[in-house]
Amino acid sequence: MKTRHYGSILMVGLMAAACATAGKPEAEHANHDAAPPATTPEPNAFPDSDAPASAPNTPEADESEDEAAPAPPQSNAATKGSPAPAAAPTSRGASSEARDDSAGSGSSRGASAEPAKKSARPFDIQPERPGLGTTWGETMASHVSNVAFERASNSPFSLTTIRYNDSTGITAMLHGASPIAFRTESAAVASNGLVTVRLVDSNGSPLPTFATGRDHLAQGEVGQRYMIELVNQSSNRFEAVVTVDGLDVLDGRSGSLSKRGYLLQPFATVDIDGFRQSMDEVAAFRFGSVRGSYAAQKGSDRNVGVIGVALFAERGATPVWSQREVNRRETADPFPSRFASPPIAR
C-alpha cells in the first residue's frame, strides 16, 4: 500500500537577478593525501536520510521550510544588503590554553619540590584539506511560492549524485588516469532519462564533466559561481529534494529524504543556484576552499564535494518506470519451475 505524504513544496517564480541564463525558468526551490581506510564511508548527499522525520536534524531550533536558512558564517563574499552573518565557529581546541597544574602542587611535599613544567606541545591544528567546497555566496533575488504535491511514496524513485572538485582533485579521483578518456558532454540521467542533472556555470554552460562507471565528476574553479540544472523530460510532475555538501539547499541543515523540495513541472528546466535565505532570496553557490565552505562553517566538512538529487513521483500520476522495475521486467522467467513439485499436504 502506498504511503500518503502530503505537503507543500516550493515552486519557482522569477529569474535570479545575477543569473544570465535568459530563456529558462529560474528556480531555487539538489587530491587526496592518502587513500582513506576501507571502513571510512564516502561523502553522503543525504546524511540524515535514516533519521525519523520527527526528529530534529541539528541541535538548533526547528524552523519551517518557508523561513530563511540559518544566518551564514562570516564571509568576504557577502554583498551590500545581505543579512548580517553570524560569527564563524571557533575551531575546537584552537583557542584553548595549556593547563598549568603546578600551582599549589608541591605545597604538601616540601619547598624543594619542583613545579610541574608547562607543556611545550603546540596547539592541535587541523591541516587544510585540498580540493573545492561550496561557500555561502552573494545574496541573489529569487522568488518562490508554495504548491501542493502529494508523494506517491516516502521513498524516492531515483537518487542521483554528482561529485565535484578542482582539476587536480578530479585527476586524483580518477586514480591518476587521464581525464580526457572520461570526458563527457552528457548529464547525469535519472530514471531512464525522465530527468537530467548537471552543473552549469553562471552563463548556463555545463562545467567540464567526467563519467566513470559509478560517478559523474564535475570540475570547477575557486571563486566560480555555479547552478544545479534539472531538466524534466516527461509529462509528469516531480518533487526534487536537493543537497549540496550534505546540506539541504532549502534550510541549510543536514540533508534528509524526509524533507520537502522543489517542484519540477512537465517538460520544464529548473536552475537551483543557491542556499535559500527566504521566499525571495538565495545565497549563491560559489566554489571555494573546503575550510571556507558553508558546510565546514556549519560544523562539519565530512560530506563536502557531493551534490544529491532525490526525485519523488506524484500520487495518482502515470507510474514511473524505475530502473529496478525495468530490471525485474528484463529478468522475468517464463518457466520459473523446471520440474514438478509434490502436491500440498491437506
User: Which residue carries 570540475 as its cell?
Assistant: 219
Contact indicator for 246, 254 with CB cutoff of 8 Å: yes
> What pLDDT shows up at residue 237?
96
Phi-psi map region of 176: left, alpha, beta (phi>0 left; psi -120 to 50 alpha): left
In a 10 Å sphere around its CB, with 0-12 CB exposed, 13-18 middle and 19+ buried, how is residue 75 labelled?
buried
Q: What is the pTM of this model?
A: 0.64
> What pLDDT shows up at residue 222?
97
User: Which residue carries 584539506 as its cell?
Assistant: 129
Output DSSP code: residue 1: -
Contact indicator for 179, 171 with CB cutoff of 8 Å: yes
Per-residue confidence of the chain (346 residues) as pLDDT tens digits? 444 444 556 666 534 444 444 444 444 443 444 444 445 567 888 887 764 333 333 333 333 333 334 444 433 333 333 333 333 333 333 333 333 343 344 444 444 445 445 555 555 556 789 999 999 999 999 999 999 999 999 999 999 999 999 999 999 999 988 888 899 888 888 767 889 999 999 999 999 999 987 889 999 999 999 999 999 999 999 999 999 999 999 999 999 999 999 999 999 999 999 999 999 999 999 999 999 999 999 999 999 999 999 999 999 988 777 667 777 888 888 878 777 778 887 7
263-to-187, 196, 284 alpha-carbon distances in Å: 20, 15, 20
Output phi, psi for 179, to 5 deg: -60, -25
> What pLDDT shows up at residue 335?
77
Q: How far is CA 229 from the centre of its chain?
A: 14
268-to-99, 152, 232, 322 alpha-carbon distances in Å: 61, 21, 5, 20
